Amino acid sequence: MKRAAQVETLRRVVSTRLPTRWGTFQTIGFERKLSNGSARVETALAIVMGDVTQGTPLLRIHSQCFTSEVLGSLRCDCREQLEIAMSAIAEEGRGLVIYEHQEGRGIGLMAKLRAYALQDKGFDTVEANHALGFASDYRDFTLPAAILRDFGISRVRLLSNNPQKARVLSDAGIEVVAQVPCEATPNEHSLGYLRTKKEKLGHALTLKHLVLFRVISWIVGLLQEEHDPLNHTNKHEITFWTNKRKKITKRLRSSSSLRVSRMQFKSCEADA
């Protein structure tokens, strides 16, 4: 449920250079105050490369994910999506990531971990939120829209699979010229989560390699099954299939940062 709040003027707090493995970005910190019974401050970072006021820059609106981006969790695709966006922007030499502090689709880190605990018991990500008394998604993406207006950006190519982001930007007067896929290859831990995002939250996901990962999981199960027939084959054959599985898994993981080709970006680019 959306909460009506009085919004004060957006303010730039700081600007600093940010060298990364993809290149050097300029990071600008924004904040704005909200009053909804009690005052609170929203903050976000604009991670910028090149002149984003010209043409139609690439844009990624990204929500903080401590578990994947810091701890390396494989339960979601957040870290891979951020890396895809940073790489794509660096390849073009121009674009921005707006990084919002909205952990767990706005419920916070502790509540997100409680939702994980329910998911361990068989709930999906939406069911877990509802069981804890939360909505499926509390984010409204109005702060990124305000940041874009602050930059004077009126047209973007949105790196996202989430149609809600495009709708909010359009409602705020920001033209989404193209919604560019930002999809990571699923892994055995993230498949259920991504399937729920596709089926219940409407995300535009293809879930590539889904069948292949199921096959790999089946092979893993066979190799680990105590009474599996493979246990009756010779050790050389078991070693062969174990090594084969490891090679396939490594190749899939190395391709997890799926990138949209330069030609796809250029084909949907329009000059302001």
Per-residue confidence (pLDDT) for residue 144, from 0 to 100: 95
Mean pLDDT to the nearest integer, 234-246: 61
User: Tokens 């879930």 sit at which residue?
Assistant: 207
Domain that holds residue 61: 6-102+139-184+257-267
Give a yes or no: residue 245 inside a domain: no
Give a yes or no: residue 67 inside a domain: yes
C-alpha span between 80 and 94 (Å, rounded): 20
Per-residue confidence (pLDDT) for residue 192, from 0 to 100: 84
pLDDT above 90 (res 61): yes
Q: Is 150 in the active site?
A: no
C-alpha span between 192 and 85 (Å, rounded): 23
pLDDT above 90 (res 201): no
Can you count the helices (H) and strands (E) in the chain? Answer: 11, 8
Q: Report whether 207 contacts 198 (CB < 8 A).
A: yes
For residue range 152-163, list pLDDT tens digits in order.
Answer: 999 999 999 988
Question: How many separate domains does the chain show?
Answer: 1
pLDDT above 70 (res 10): yes
pLDDT above 70 (res 225): no
Report the CATH number at residue 29: 3.40.50.10990
Q: Report whether 49 contacts 94 (CB < 8 A).
A: yes
CA dihedral 47, 10, 201, 94 (to 10 degrees): -30
- Is pLDDT larger for residue 153 or for residue 223? 153
Give a yes or no: residue 246 inside a domain: no
C-alpha span between 259 and 248 (Å, rounded): 20
pLDDT above 50 (res 259): no
Mean pLDDT to the nearest integer, 207-213: 59
C-alpha span between 110 and 103 (Å, rounded): 9
205 C-beta neighbours (distance < 10 Å), count = 20
For residue range 90-102, list pLDDT tens digits in order.
Answer: 999 999 999 999 9
pLDDT above 50 (res 200): yes
DSSP-derived secondary structure for 226-264: TT-GGGGS-HHHHHHHHHHHHHHHHHHHHT-S----HHH
Alpha carbon 237 to chain centroid distance? 40
Active-site residue, selected from the candidate residues 60, 114, 137, 157 = 137
Q: Is 139 in the active site?
A: yes
pLDDT above 60 (res 267): no
Q: Report whether 46 contacts 10 (CB < 8 A).
A: no
In 3D, which of 12, 77, 19 has the Cα closest to residue 49? 19
115 C-beta neighbours (distance < 10 Å), count = 24
Active-site residue, selected from the candidate residues 60, 79, 94, 139 = 139
Give a yes or no: residue 207 inside a domain: no
C-alpha span between 29 and 39 (Å, rounded): 19
Mean pLDDT to the nearest integer, 63-69: 95
Give a yes or no: residue 39 inside a domain: yes
Which of the residue ranges 3-7, 149-153, 231-235 has the most confident prediction, judged by mean pLDDT?
Answer: 149-153
pLDDT above 80 (res 221): no
Give a yes or no: residue 118 inside a domain: no
Specify the DSSP element, H or E, that contains 97.
Answer: strand 95-100
pLDDT above 60 (res 127): yes
Structure tokens at 3: 């909460």
- The overall average pLDDT reported for the chain is 82
C-alpha span between 1 and 166 (Å, rounded): 19
User: Tokens 């922007």 sit at which residue?
Assistant: 89
For residue range 159-192, list pLDDT tens digits in order.
Answer: 999 888 999 999 999 999 999 988 888 888 988 8
Give a yes or no: residue 71 inside a domain: yes
Give a yes or no: residue 197 inside a domain: no
